[in-house]
Amino acid sequence: MKIFIDTANLDEIRKALSWGIVDGVTTNPSLIKRAVDQLKKLKVRKIDIESYIKEICLAAGKERPVSLEVISLRAQEMIEEAELLYRKFNPLAGNVVIKIPINTYTRMGGVSHYEGLKAITHLSREEIPVNTTLIMSPEQALLAAKAGARYASPFAGRVDDYIRKKLGIQFRKQDYFDFDLMQKITKDKLTRFMDSSGERDAASLYLDENIKEWKDLGKDNGISSGVHLVEEIVNIYQNYRIKTEVIAASMRNGRQVREVALAGAHIATIPFNVMEEMIQHPKTVEGIETFSQDVVPEYRDLFEE
């Protein structure tokens, strides 16, 4: 699995690049805002965002795609913005990918649901690579691929938030949640209820209000977690040998990264703090301390020239 860094913070990008583990960069307007706020905090007087993004593209270099997102909602405007971003930044290192939301409908603007797809189709025909963002269902991922997107980004963490909230569970954004356990609990509840239902016929059980409620417990339209979403998209793409690559996005903790890797995601885009978390284990620290204490002079001499 490739690893992208999910940030617009140049320092974080440079640090992670120096570790040799980064295959690409993804940004979005919220991440750009966070980077700009950071620069303001550092009292940078005039923030030249164009030069800043140029530095990101150059730092990433030829082999590592950098996703930059459009800001409009209508297809024609998104296409124009995408072409502008591509013209401005792609010549530097040839690594620009344009992020288009799958569905740009907004109640405020009354724009059609299909503006994103129209823009993806147009840009893909022009051979401008697209990363389809804000994917929350396998169906959306299928449509993004049909429209020709190079990448599809399911937002695993946000789907987890949605399900946890529906369950009424209090959580912090970075908390790991055992969605498999939740499904086991649900299944167990259903089995016990059915076992105690005696000779009731299948149709009446199927329509029973308790069963209806419990079978969807902890699910969003059949999806039981962000990782499950990624897994389903990977399976659909494999079924039809679709070339679109799955970028597991909205990663919140190391264990979630492990699970999307097991699910077969081509790429995970990971925030800097999650990358830092991924390297940690107390027994590794303890092991290093013991090894250091156990170095005998005879062995140390080996390293003296």
List the catalytic residues: 99
Nearest CA to 92 among 66, 116, 121, 58? Answer: 58
CA 254 to chain centre: 13
The one-letter amino acid at 87: R
Select 52 or 272, whichever has its Cβ closest to ligand G3P. 272
The CB density around residue 125, as the number of other CB atoms within 10 Å, is 10
Q: Least separation, in Å, of the C-beta of 191 and ligand G3P? A: 34
As given in the structure block, the two tokens for residue 184 are: 């086991």
Select 75 or 249, whichever has its Cβ closest to ligand G3P. 249
Which residues of the chain form contacts with ligand G3P (CB under 6 A)?
6, 26, 28, 31, 155, 157-158, 249-250, 269
Q: Which residues make Cβ contacts (< 8 Å) with residue 264, sequence separation at least 6?
A: 231, 234, 238, 246
3-state secondary structure of 131: strand
Q: Least separation, in Å, of the C-beta of 151 and ligand G3P? A: 11
Angle at 88 between CA 5 and CA 97, to 5 degrees: 35
d(CA 22, CA 17): 6
Select 152 or 249, whichever has its Cβ closest to ligand G3P. 249
The CB density around residue 178, as the number of other CB atoms within 10 Å, is 11
Select 39 or 268, whichever has its Cβ closest to ligand G3P. 268
For tokens 């923030």, the residue is 47
d(CA 46, CA 48): 6
Q: Least separation, in Å, of the C-beta of 273 and ligand G3P? A: 10
Q: Least separation, in Å, of the C-beta of 299 and ligand G3P? A: 46
Select 34 or 215, whichever has its Cβ closest to ligand G3P. 34
Nearest CA to 149 among 116, 122, 124? Answer: 124
d(CA 283, CA 22): 25
Select 122 or 151, whichever has its Cβ closest to ligand G3P. 151
Q: Least separation, in Å, of the C-beta of 53 and ligand G3P? A: 16
Q: Least separation, in Å, of the C-beta of 173 and ligand G3P? A: 6
Q: Do 90 and 96 contact (CB within 8 A), yes or no?
A: yes
